[in-house]
Structure 1
């Protein structure tokens, strides 16, 4: 069972791969950031556990199906393994914003799934890395330390919520996942 303070939970679109306002609908459209794949591998090699929590409302909207999502996640796992890393669990919400589920971020359901899948009793002290405010909000009730990256929708998030970059905020701000991992491995 991983220790919460050695767990990093990542949003997918905009953190691991390029995001699209038209949704990432197929393996061909899923374009990983090479530096993110290497960053995940470096975390794993340093003894960290990595999980993914991703909203995938494109399924509810009929833009793609569970099989297409599974293809993308299989390729993600393959590329991370090829780089020398591992993703312990991928939790996804297939619902739309009006489906009244308990898993769609900013609700913490995906993080509860990760906690349970990894056999943990708490996520207190783990890291939640995202490019949107709702990613960070999902981690708050679980005791996760918030990290906002500027990739994906990160710059847009900062423009809407400049308070996230305020010096008195708990939120850590980095250019991308690789920069966060550089800092984390140097300081932890």
Structure 2
């Protein structure tokens, strides 16, 4: 088991080392400028999106997850962060198109810079990880399906939030974040 853990850790180190810092900085800037942030993803990407939204909320951002019953309408000045390994997930493409139609910005987190969602996005953060499709340009992995992409998304988006909060003039410190943490648990 130790060798499997070490292999996964080495894979993650390689993927993370190849993330384009400028793309992560652009996402950080979009987060800071957005009136409200909306997050979407399907399947495990959606779960990573929910974790991202929760961390944003802890950081004091006004954030919603697409598909929840309390999610309001997206508007001009808002940001949609779309997570799709392929960059072509049908429902996410529809959400991105609608967001653009009302004047919101769209930022895609994906492995595929040439995808149809990337083509309509205001920014793209490429996670150079393997997906369930195992395209020739994707790195090798011992992990099944899109595990490598999902893990890297979680780590990169958490790091992006940390970096964003470290560069924002606010009172968002550990004590404030703790106050925002769920207390009905």
Per the normalisation by structure 2, the TM-score is: 0.32
Q: Which has the larger radius of gyration?
A: 2
Name the structure with the higher helix share.
Answer: 2
